[in-house]
Structures are given as structure tokens and as C-alpha cells.
Structure 1
């Protein structure tokens, strides 16, 4: 039994998805005019700076923390929470049942919507009681409820999870609950059999629940798992199991993805899709959000612009990248100028893996059913490309020679299984061996091999430099590589539809368990799920299923070794590195702790009065 959890403290209302940094001005809500056509980088920077200058002349009675996001602001639909940016914005307005303790650095969990919870002796039954004061807030001018508020009920948890399971929704985060709750997979199967059967399944499920998900009363929920699951509490704190009122999905005139209704400490007050989200505290909220503190998220795609904003005191927090890293950080400390200003540097180990992944359904680089000889050759090709990968260049150019550790193993340091496995045999620089494998595959010096295609996840100079760097490196063994620059959203669409032959990908674990990373190669989770490489191997899948069903450390290590041996043999991706998080914060911003699984719990942030 976990005991009594503390209450949750972070919420919001209407916004969008992206990647993060942060800033602060005295301005309150405002609207950024949206250009009808994309602007060149220098014009966008000029446009943004002129906008910020005009805003700095405003004065309001509230303090505002500003964040600059590197990706375009997207959707508030919790089913679209698979990108870090979406998770960050949704984190401000929605809650799940549990959350990470913002005062703890040991991944400790406390209650969010859950007030108390009990776990049976066999670890398969959970009885959860909701906070009696948990309330949804609808900020619309014509709210769903007369006073704009309604108590959160156990039936809301049920409906939110059922929607995640509905096969018609195609939610990429279905992996969080798949095969885990009794009766939920059967419900999903019913929703895949046509509209009539789906409607019937919904009607029956909403009338009290399903076999393993029962509404006891308005504030109590009983969950029955199919197996003991050591990570279930972490899953309840993940960004994939957020709770929202079903009424908000179907009301006329307002699109749910742009008008979220949550139970959090903040609501979305102003929203310019793709460009800007402005959050205000929920009126009358008893959460721990600081009084009169607002949040603003802007899309600032250029890293140089974000760096300049931070140096000018207009960003509260900055994750320095590439050139900015070397100019702002000296010997593991903020540079002398930033030190004088009181800027702080925080370094956090991230449980993640950055990789170059192959589309395993691609006829040139993939693994095709029934083609044993072709699969052998293509496996040699992938390993040859790994041996010719410019690891050191990557580390110097992309990571500024500092903020990542080489991924010589599939699992990041810090996981018990990682310490027990061996290094990947082909994850090293060895041009002679690369040429040998390429010739053995039937393409000596690349002769007869079609040009390969790298799909980039950005149009910025760093992304283009990455394409040029990899192209030059593989050219040394005779392989031609063409790169395609595009917005990250376009890359995701290509990966989901199987059109991305080769692409880079960074996977940050959703909770501290090796299975969460091993999931990204599970056949049943193939794209549009989280298995973007479309890797499928029956031996791997069977070992992963066994891995998830045991708590025995020795058994888990043995099964992990078996799975990683299959990845070593088939090489669906090239592990590159494990990142570290470097975060610069202004002297007036107080952040209790940094948690890689809960990047921006803004209700726990504080602004203090300091000389500017």
C-alpha cells in the first residue's frame, strides 16, 4: 500500500504543444499577429524582437513567467500527448491520478486527482479515492456548466481511459494500458468492429465500467490489472492518462484540441494556434499556484533568438544548445557575465536514447518477411552505416562536446539492466570494417546501392548541418545520402505512415523502467504507435512480454540480454548518445527540483523580487 498522497498542484486550460525554454516580461495577455506565409529566419527573428519590444511597454498587475518553445504550438487533446511540447502545455491544464513530488529528486509520487489509494496483496487491484475538491473549470464565454465548474468524478477517469482505448481514435499512447487492465482490450476490439458495435461497447462501459475498471461511486474507482505491474503507479503519473470531462469533446462551436477543459491550477486564457498560449490561474483555485502568476508560451524556432532573449533577461530559463552552449557555459559553470547576474546552472542526467533509426519496412534498408537473403544483406548494410557514423563529429557539433554521453549500449546508465549488458559490437567508428561489411552485403564501395534518404526534423542550420555531416561521412564508404529538411510535424507524419527511410529520434523514458525504452521496438506498437522503426521480431516480442510480467531482478536482466541480442543482430537503429539536461535559470526564478519525467510543473515555480 502506498499510503496517503499529497495533493497535486499544477494545471491549465487552453494551449498547445511544443518543446521548451522560458522567459519573463511584465506584459500580460497579448496576441501575436500570425504571418500568412512562413518567414525567412532573420525576418522571423526581427518580427519577434519587434513584438517583444512593443510588449515590454505594457504594464499589468500580474507577474508572468514566459517560455520559448522550439516547436510550433499544437494540440490540447490528451490523445495527442506523445510529443514533449504537447506534454508540457497539457501539463499546465490537466491532471492525472498521480504526479511526481516537485520537492523530491527520487521520482517519488504523490496524489494529483487521487486523494488516497490502496493496493491489494497480489498487486493487481487498486482502489482509488478522488480528491473531494477536484474541479473542472471551463473558461469559455458560454461554459458547459452554468458557473463554469464541475466536480471531477470517477466516471471522468473511466471515460478518459476508454477514449484512449477506442481503436477509432488511433491513440499512439495506447501502449500505456494495452494488455494491462482486465476487459479494456476487449473494449478496444469492439470499437474496431464498426460504429454500431462501438456505440454498444461505449454504452455498456459507461454504465458502471468494464471488468477491470469499475466506478464504485462518484469519487471511488476500482482497477483490476491483468498482472502485477511494477510501473503502474508511474503510468498513472504519466502525461498519457490525463483526465477531462466528456462533455468538452462534443459541445458545438469549440474544438476540444484548442479549448481544453481541465482541473488544473491554470486555464488557457488566450490562444494563437501554433504561436502563443497564455495561461492564468483558475479563479478561486486552492491549488498551490502562486497568486497572480501567469504563464506565456511562445514559439521561437531559432536557438540564437532564444539565447539572445535569455541574455537580455526576457527568458526565465534556457536549455543552451550548440554554439550557445560554448558561449554561455565555461568549465561546467555559467560564464562570468551570467555569474555576475546571478544566473544558475542545473545539470540533470536524462534517461533517454538518441538514435538514427531505419524504417524496417523499407525495401532498401529494412527487414522484409520471407526475404532471408535480402534481410541478411540489409542487416550488414545497417551495421556498415553504423560503423561509418561520425560519432565524434556529432558529439562536437550537435552536443557541443559536452552535454551527452556516448550510447555504447541500448539502455541508458542508471537502469539496473544497463549495468549487466555488453556494449554493442558494431557501435563504433571503423571505416575498414564498414567497407568490408558493405562489400559482403553485395555493394562494394556502394556500387549498385540506391541513394539513401535521411528525413530531417527541422529546417534550421543545425538540422541541415546534420544532413551534410552524415552525407559526407557515409560518402567515405561509397554510400550516397540525400537529406530532406522539413518541420518536425512533417517528419512525424512520414514516420507514422512508413515514408521515412532513415531519421533521427530521441526517446526519453516516460518512467524509470527499462521496459519503457524496450517498448519502442515492440512489434505490436509499430507506427503510428511508438515503434517508429516498424521493427518486428517474434523472439524480441516474446522476451519483452515475459520481461513485463516478472519482478525478479535476475529474470529481468536475463530477458533484457535476450532482447538486446536481437537488436544487436538485426540493427533496427544506431544508438548515438544519452543526453544530459543543462538548464540556465534567471536569479528571480525558483524551481524546486528538475525531474526528467515531469519537465515543467509550473505551479511549483516561484518568482522572487530581485534587482534587475
Structure 2
């Protein structure tokens, strides 16, 4: 076997440049108290706790308490660290990852974790027949294309068991963000024996290696119990965690203010109200979501086939007003990459709103005063209260330029396909990082290979494609982030979309909740949380 050149995992925090861990408790450290039940509201439906199959926010929130990944995020620094892996060697060409597993890690049913479980978990996640949200995460692994074509007999050819505690992963091309992929909840390691025995039922009776194990799974309540055999010594502190279903945002808010729940993600409409109540304004946390909301243009269809018209709209929209509808939680977008993602440039300036210049650009495009402008549709997949208000604001902004605007709602299940088919002129959309790396934004939204899939504007630029491919493989972290900033600068000149704002999440918690540092990727560090009601 070829000897692997070892590349030390230098500066993993640089890969996640821009990340900050926000600590909830500024007082001097106190020895954690063991025991107690953390009471949380259930956010959305929970149909399956199988990490390969989660689709809702509620499912994603619970899965990290039950399962572990090969890489994890450090609670204190926010940087990547080893999880179920205790070491990784990377070949000099960046295409071979040899991963050594921790020994003595037990699944909840008592069996020891081995490399066979890792291969099984990855093969299963990459198999389209599974229906996993993780398929795209493993697209760089050798054999992924064969598996996608329906040949699943041997799983991923690029994932090989070397011995019971060593797994080797071969990539078809270098991917410097692959470390972050290994920390994704969708790639949590599951027990081969139990999933093989009952693949359909595993999501209702999940057994992982995580700090908590399943106690109860009902329609109104999910309860997890402490895993006394957890591989991280001394953890977890909590005896149990209970999620209770509430049907509305108001019900969740009321449950918190009457002390029925210990911690909530605050709906924007209650942000101002809660901040004025009692001492809760001292126990609120705000952090950037890895999300960009934007309006995209169909660049193949008049009038947005003309760059002057696209730039005119950019100079007309009032992004600050749009953010205001979100309760002001977040910041106006100065580009596509949100805060918290490497390559985000806080110094980039968003063009100042200028209706006079916008009108001049419309005239230059051949539509003086809007005359001759074809009617346009602004499409959306949702008409919630806030979304409807947002669309009405955009409609009013465009009408000042002489646009004749129609707002249309499309069935959310058919929305992506509708937009990709080119039937609309302009569309409302948001992109949240699948994994915390600028490649996830730039490749999916702007690479020409993704037209008709995630590149919904039809943007195509051979030079940008080349730069995106180059950035994917760049080994120097700082050079890599500079490449992404250059890519964003080039795209901004062509205005295929108008980023409007990056939302922020707001969390409120009771004063006795400790250890609830927050991270843009991790919902809660469950193992390190504890309650102090002394």
C-alpha cells in the first residue's frame, strides 16, 4: 500500500474563517451540576430521527444529541476538532484521507463502533435509493457517480475499510472543505447491524453513539436519557432532555415566559416584546445564520437579459426595509457570502439606493420611463405574512421604475423546478449553507454545471467556473478565501441576483441554563449543557 504523506491539520479554524462561538454565560466558571431535565419546545415536525433522512428543523435539532460524526466543533473555540475520528492523515495531493477511529466507543445497544459502521453509513447516505439529504455531500468521493447511476452493489468504491479501526476515503478531486463535510449531522455514524435489520424502522428507534439515548418518541413529546457509556469522559451532565410540541410561535413564547421551557429560538415578531420583559434581555443570544435571502433574475428572458435593467433594480430595492420585516435581526447583505462563512468581506460596500441613476439605466436599456417594458412576474414559494409584506415592498419599488409587476405563488414542492424551467422573470429565494464553506454558495449558485439544478438564474461565466474549480482545490487557506472574494467581486459586476439580507437567529434562555454556547452549525452543545437552580 502506498505510504501516505501526512499533512498536519493546520489551522482548521481558518477553514471556518469568520466563525465565532458565542458564550451565554460571562460569569467565572462554576463546576457543572449533574442531573436535571432540559425542557425544550419542538420546532417543526419530527417523523424520523435517522440522520441520513432528516428533513425538518426539529429533526436536525435532535439528531446531534443521539449521534456523533467523525469530526466535531469545539465548544470553546468553534473550530473543527476530532470526534469519532482520533486522527486523520491526508495525502500530499489532498485526495486520500486515512481516518483512525477511537476505540471503545459504544452504540446505545452496547456494540462497539468499527470501521464497517463508517463505510456502511457513508455508502447508505450516498445511495440515491436511500433518499438521503447527504447525497450531494459525498459527491467528491470516488464511486459517487457510479452509485448515482444505480450500481449500489459495493457501495462507494472510494470508501475502504483498512482494519477494524481505520477507514480510507479517496476523493475524485481535492476538496479542502472535506473536513467540514465530516462534521455534518447527515453523515452521523449509524450501527450497520440495526439499520440492516430494520431500515424503515430505525428512524423511530434510533441507536447512535451520542451523549443521549432515546427514552420516548411520541407525537407530542420526545424524551432522551443520559448515555452512561458515552465516550467523552464525564459527559453529559444532564439526566435527560424533553422536547414538547407547541402548535404556534405564540404558544412557544407563552411557554417560555411562564417557565414551562428552558430555552427557545425566538420568532422575530416577539424579539422586541421579550427584550422589554424582566431580566430576559440579559439572557438573549443573537448569532448569524449561514443564510442569504435574495431575488434572482431569469437572465435569459427580457427584460432581465439586459445587465442595465438588473443593475437598475439593484439601485432601487430597499434592502434595509426588507430586513426590518424580519425584526431587524440580521444585517443588510453586501454580497452573497453571509457573516460566519470564510470569504465574507465586511468591507464590501453595497451600492447606495439611487432612483435617478436607476431610471437612467432603464432608459439606456431601451425602456425610457418604463415604456415598452414587458410585464414581469415575481415568483415565490410561500405567502406567509412576512413574505407577503416583503413581496409587496419589492413590487412597489419596481413600480417606481415603470415596471408592471404581478406577484405569483407557486406550490412550494414544485417551486425549484418552476424557477429552473425559466417560466418566471424574478424570484424570491434563500440559500442556507449545507456545510460551512464558501464553496457551497459559489458552486451551487453560480457554477454553470449547476444550471437547472441549484443555479436558478442561469448564470454562466467560463472564467468564474475556472476560479470556482481552482478555489475548491487550493491548499493555502488564505489564498483560497481570497479567491472566493475575487469570484464574488466578478459576479457582483454582472448582477445575476440581488442579495437582500442575512438573517440572524435569536435565542432566549432561562437564567439557570448553563453551557449553552452557540455556533452557526451546531444547534446546541447538548453534552456540555447543565442546569443551575441553586
Give the TM-score of the pair, scaled to structure 1.
0.70
User: Residues 523 and 82 of structure 1: is their aligned pair in 2 closer, same or farther, counting only changes over 3 Å?
Assistant: farther
The answer to whether 1:307 aligns with 2:232 is: no
Report if the CA contact (8 A) 1:523-1:534 is conserved.
no
The answer to whether 1:243 aligns with 2:189 is: yes
Report if the CA contact (8 A) 2:290-2:341 is conserved.
no
Task: Indicate the residue corresponding to 1:290 in structure 2.
Answer: 237
Task: Give the deviation of 1:609 after TM superposition.
Answer: 1.8
User: Residues 131 and 84 of structure 1: is their aligned pair in 2 closer, same or farther, counting only changes over 3 Å?
Assistant: same
Task: Give the deviation of 1:407 after TM superposition.
Answer: 1.5
Partners in 2 of 1:441 and 1:258 — Cα distance? 58
User: Residues 327 and 421 of structure 1: is their aligned pair in 2 closer, same or farther, counting only changes over 3 Å?
Assistant: closer
Report if the CA contact (8 A) 1:70-1:300 is conserved.
no
Task: Give the deviation of 1:380 after TM superposition.
Answer: 4.0
Runs of 4+ off more than 6 Å: none
The answer to whether 1:398 aligns with 2:326 is: yes
Between 317-326 and 155-164, report the one with greater CA deviation. 317-326
User: Residues 298 and 535 of structure 1: is their aligned pair in 2 closer, same or farther, counting only changes over 3 Å?
Assistant: farther
Partners in 2 of 1:170 and 1:535 — Cα distance? 28
Q: Deviations over 1:297-336 (max 9, x none)?
A: 535442x33322222112322343434222222xxxxx36
User: Residues 223 and 297 of structure 1: is their aligned pair in 2 closer, same or farther, counting only changes over 3 Å?
Assistant: farther
Report if the CA contact (8 A) 2:46-2:56 is conserved.
no
Give matches, 1:340-359, under 5 Å.
Answer: 344-348=283-287, 350=288, 352-358=290-296
What SS does the aligned partner of 2:391 have? helix
Report if the CA contact (8 A) 1:125-1:223 is conserved.
yes
User: Residues 527 and 166 of structure 1: is their aligned pair in 2 closer, same or farther, counting only changes over 3 Å?
Assistant: farther
Report if the CA contact (8 A) 1:69-1:299 is conserved.
yes
Task: Indicate the residue corresponding to 1:47 in structure 2.
Answer: none
Between 413-422 and 536-545, report the one with greater CA deviation. 413-422
Report if the CA contact (8 A) 1:82-1:173 is conserved.
no
Task: Give the deviation of 1:99 after TM superposition.
Answer: 0.7
Partners in 1 of 2:304 and 2:57 — Cα distance? 36
Task: Give the deviation of 1:434 after TM superposition.
Answer: 3.3
Q: Deviations over 1:342-388 (max 9, x none)?
A: 9523343x263422242xxxxxx4134xx8xx586354444333333
Between 472-481 and 89-98, report the one with greater CA deviation. 472-481
Task: Indicate the residue corresponding to 1:7 in structure 2.
Answer: none
What SS does the aligned partner of 2:66 have? coil
User: Residues 351 and 291 of structure 1: is their aligned pair in 2 closer, same or farther, counting only changes over 3 Å?
Assistant: closer
What SS does the aligned partner of 1:294 have? strand
Task: Give the deviation of 1:546 after TM superposition.
Answer: 0.3
1:277 pairs with one of 222, 228, 248: 222
Give matches, 1:139-150, under 5 Å.
Answer: 148-150=109-111
Task: Give the deviation of 1:397 after TM superposition.
Answer: 2.6
Partners in 1 of 2:458 and 2:44 — Cα distance? 25
Task: Indicate the residue corresponding to 2:97 in structure 1.
Answer: 126
Q: Deviations over 1:143-197 (max 9, x none)?
A: xxxxx44322211211222233334556554443333x4xx2xx23323444xxx
Task: Indicate the residue corresponding to 2:298 in structure 1.
Answer: 366
Task: Indicate the residue corresponding to 2:23 in structure 1.
Answer: none
User: Residues 218 and 309 of structure 1: is their aligned pair in 2 closer, same or farther, counting only changes over 3 Å?
Assistant: same
Report if the CA contact (8 A) 2:70-2:83 is conserved.
yes
The answer to whether 1:190 aligns with 2:146 is: yes
1:94 pairs with one of 67, 72, 82: 67
2:502 pairs with one of 578, 591, 600: 578
Aligned length: 496
Partners in 1 of 2:71 and 2:90 — Cα distance? 14
User: Residues 453 and 388 of structure 1: is their aligned pair in 2 closer, same or farther, counting only changes over 3 Å?
Assistant: same
Give matches, 1:532-547, under 5 Å.
Answer: 535-547=459-471
Report if the CA contact (8 A) 1:267-1:279 is conserved.
yes
Task: Indicate the residue corresponding to 1:25 in structure 2.
Answer: none
Unaligned runs of 5+ in 1: 4-61, 138-147, 330-334, 359-364
Partners in 1 of 2:204 and 2:451 — Cα distance? 25
1:453 pairs with one of 378, 383, 392: 378
The answer to whether 1:222 aligns with 2:168 is: yes
User: Residues 478 and 74 of structure 1: is their aligned pair in 2 closer, same or farther, counting only changes over 3 Å?
Assistant: farther
Task: Indicate the residue corresponding to 1:337 in structure 2.
Answer: 278
Report if the CA contact (8 A) 1:412-1:578 is conserved.
yes
1:317 pairs with one of 255, 263, 266: 263
Give the TM-score of the pair, scaled to structure 2.
0.79
Task: Give the deviation of 1:458 after TM superposition.
Answer: 5.9
